[in-house]
């Protein structure tokens, strides 16, 4: 269904904050956009701009050359790809299915096998960069799957992202994203403990962040989320409950490999404590609550 | 002893890699430089360029307007400042004593009190930036002590550093430096666990660092020490045994404040394990040994 001007029929399933922004770039580039989402209202804006609504994932697949998904949890991915009215069952041979959800590498491999058995292509291609990166079309995209399939999809990745990497076979994109989340997990402890210590010692934490943000202690999280911790601004860029999901997947995979990751274990424990205290809808900087609310800010150097 | 051209008599005690570079900038600016070091040979180069050697810290103090120290451990600081032939006992009234060692905030306060009782000024002013920053005169300097004393010393800090901050009363410089080390401790776990996971999953860790170094997982340590971990290059920029000392001080201070820092506790445990395995002279990226040597790099995605 590629038209004479190179425009293709593209599906997008999962229109949360990230998915809606990513799908929008595809529509803006002039492609036919076919949509499905659990909550239909989230498709209204894109439909008003020319996209086509379908009542289930399989219907989207029947109309498309490439279908992207941006879902919540691995069970959602499994249902959309491998369910009876799912993408693998309904897509025409030659269609490429691209899951951009952060999900399990093992599930990515199972999807790739099921897709291959029906002459479909499949990629796992999770992203980083959040809603800011999605809006600007500047996401980092980490892809796993066959090289030829990756090359077919690359022009669409370039609509959504800036750093686009093919890291290996099916599952490799998910593994790279998990490595990203593992780095974030302990760095978030680092930033929150550093600020908690500075406050407890009676220092001005903003001044401390300005100084230590120039050197070896600096990180994206220290510079960008440190000031939010100081301001007790726990509004969500990336939800605690999604981050806990990612850490659980990473710990499962690491256990499967026989790899012990004590920092990640500890971070997961702290974030679970945060969830149990009712803060699952916080942004990930909410981990600072565990340190800020212990009442030590009255100390002085 | 300030000369008519504004040049002053300056002492420098502790001529390790950092101290020698920092003292060199003072000499280059045309000030009289008075030296003492436990190992005399380390002063030879500066003496050949016009500095004056003395046989103990007290002798240095007797000749100087300002004395800087860059030592190893808090007991060294205590001996040099508070010992019988030490700086506080021998300095003339009005002299300013500046400890740039990373040391204990409590000791910094005791030195400031002892100094004040003899009409001396005192600052704690630890640094970050390592030998690269020391050589370039681009250290971050974190000072605690009285404002008027800080202003007297600021022109000399500007010879050694780029980011120069006065963070509060005596001890505040040490507290800020400890906040810096706390941020480094868990970030180092973050980077090493992320790379270990990527390798175990069969990914190219350099490619993973390139991708995740563009986003929320990025940090100075990931960008600068991550590639050394991948290359199994454990040569020292900053020694494991010095870092363990800093973490011990921070944990003692945190305990005194009633503040629990689980990430820092865990990092100290891992670095102690590294020390016990005979790697105290590694650079801090040596923590990666704990993950790299478990033999999981044969796994494939």
Average of per-residue pLDDT across B263-291: 97
CB contact under 8 A, B183 and A194: yes
Query: 């989230």: which residue's tokens?
Result: A42
Burial class (CB in 10 A: 0-12, 13-18, 19+), B146: middle
Under 8 Å between Cβ of A141 and A161:
yes
Name the segment(s) of chain A with CATH classification 1.10.1040.10: 175-299
C-alpha A191/C-alpha B190 separation (Å) is 12
Handedness of CA B240, B242, B246, B248 (dihedral sign): positive
- What is the per-residue pLDDT for A5? 75
Neighbours of B27 (CB within 10 A): 18
Whether the predicted pLDDT of B294 surpasses 60: no
The predicted structure's pLDDT at residue A6: 77
Long-range contacts of A127-130 (CB under 8 A, 24+ apart): A127/A18, A127/A22, A127/A100, A127/A160, A127/A161, A127/A177, A128/A177, A128/A180, A128/B212, A128/B215, A128/B216, A128/B217, A129/A161, A129/B215, A129/B216, A130/A18, A130/A237, A130/A238, A130/B216
Per-residue model confidence as pLDDT tens digits over B147-168: 999 999 999 999 999 999 999 9
pLDDT at B298 over 60: no
- Which of B105, B197, B200 is closest, CB to CB, to A301? B105
Residues A17-24, mean pLDDT to the nearest whole number: 97
CA atoms within 13 A on the CB side of B56: 14
- Summarize pLDDT for A205-255 with one digit per residue, the tens: 999 999 999 999 999 999 999 999 999 999 988 899 999 999 999 999 999
Q: What is the mean pLDDT of residues B178-190?
A: 98
pLDDT score, position B210? 97
Give every CB contact of residue B133 below 8 A, 6+ residues apart in sequence: A215, B127, B139, B140, B161, B162
Q: Distance between CA atoms of B250 and A243, rounded to whole angstroms?
A: 29
Lowest mean pLDDT among A58-62, A289-293, B57-61: A289-293
Tell me what the pLDDT averaged over chain B comes to: 95
| pLDDT recorded at residue A297 | 44
Minimum distance, in Å, between the CA of residue A263 and any CA atom of chain B: 6
What is the pLDDT at residue B253?
97
Asked if B172 lies within 8 A of A263 by C-beta distance, the reply is: no
Query: Which of B163, B211, B224 comes nearest A142 by C-beta?
Result: B211
Per-residue model confidence (pLDDT) at position A293: 66
The pLDDT, as a whole number, for residue B68 is 98
pLDDT at residue A3 in the model? 67
Report pLDDT digits (tens) over A96-122. Answer: 999 999 999 999 999 999 999 999 999
Residue-averaged pLDDT of chain A: 95
Q: For residue B141, what pLDDT band results from cuts at 50, 70 and 90?
A: very high
Q: pTM (2 decimals)?
A: 0.94
CATH placement of domain B175-299: 1.10.1040.10
What is the model's pLDDT at position A273? 97
Checking if the pLDDT of A48 tops 50, the result is yes
pLDDT reported for residue A299: 39
Whether B300 shows a pLDDT value over 50: the answer reads no
Beta-carbon count within 10 A of B44 CB: 13
Of A176, A184, A190, the CB nearest to B203: A176
ipTM greater than 0.90, yes or no? yes
Question: Which among A185, A87, A199, A96 has a CA at the least distance from the CA of A148?
Answer: A96
Residue B6 pLDDT: 76
Please tell me the predicted confidence (pLDDT) of residue B3.
67
Cross-strand pairs, A163 = A140
B296 — pLDDT class (breaks 50, 70, 90) = very low
* Cα(A168)–Cα(A165) distance, integer angstroms: 9
DSSP state letters, B246-292 = HHHHHHHHHHHHT---HHHHHHHHHHHHHHHTT-TTSBGGGGGHHHH
Domain with CATH 3.40.50.720 in chain A: 9-169
Mean pLDDT of B227-232: 98
Q: Does residue B42 carry a catalytic annotation? A: no
pLDDT given for residue B179 in this prediction: 98
CATH class of domain segment(s) B9-169: alpha beta
The pLDDT score that the predictor gives to residue A192 is 98
For residue B66, the model assigns a pLDDT of 98
Q: Does the beta-carbon distance from B172 to A130 stay under 8 Å?
A: no
Q: Which of A197, A254, A261, A274 to mutate to test the interface with B (most CBs of B within 10 A)?
A: A197
């Amino acid at each position: 269904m590629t038209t004479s001007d190179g425009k293709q029929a593209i599906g997008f399933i999962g229109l949360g904050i990230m998915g809606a922004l990513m799908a929008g770039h595809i529509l803006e580039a002039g492609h036919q956009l076919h949509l499905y989402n659990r909550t239909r209202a989230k498709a209204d804006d894109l439909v008003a701009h020319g996209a086509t609504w379908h009542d289930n994932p399989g219907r989207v697949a029947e109309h498309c050359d490439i279908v992207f998904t941006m879902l919540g949890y691995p069970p959602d991915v499994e249902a959309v790809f491998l369910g009876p009215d799912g993408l693998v069952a309904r897509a025409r041979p030659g269609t490429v299915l691209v899951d951009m959800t952060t999900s399990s590498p093992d599930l990515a491999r199972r999807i790739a096998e099921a897709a291959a058995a029906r002459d479909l292509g499949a990629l796992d291609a999770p992203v980083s960069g959040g809603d800011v990166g999605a809006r600007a079309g500047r996401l980092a995209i980490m892809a796993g799957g066959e090289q030829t399939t990756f090359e077919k999809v690359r022009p669409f990745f370039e609509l959504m992202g800036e750093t686009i990497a093919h890291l290996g076979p099916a599952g490799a994109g998910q593994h790279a994203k998990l490595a990203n989340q593992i780095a974030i997990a302990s760095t978030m402890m680092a930033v929150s403990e550093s600020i908690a210590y500075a406050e407890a010692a009676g220092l001005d934490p903003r001044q401390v962040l300005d100084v230590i943000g120039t050197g070896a202690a600096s990180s994206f999280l220290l510079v960008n989320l440190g000031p939010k911790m100081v301001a007790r601004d726990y509004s969500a860029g990336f939800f605690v409950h999604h981050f806990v999901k990612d850490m659980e997947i990473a710990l499962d995979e690491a256990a499967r490999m026989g790899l012990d990751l004590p920092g990640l274990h500890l971070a997961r424990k702290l974030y679970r404590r945060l969830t149990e205290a009712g803060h699952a809808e916080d942004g990930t900087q909410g981990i600072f609550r565990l340190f800020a609310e212990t009442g030590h800010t009255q100390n002085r150097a």
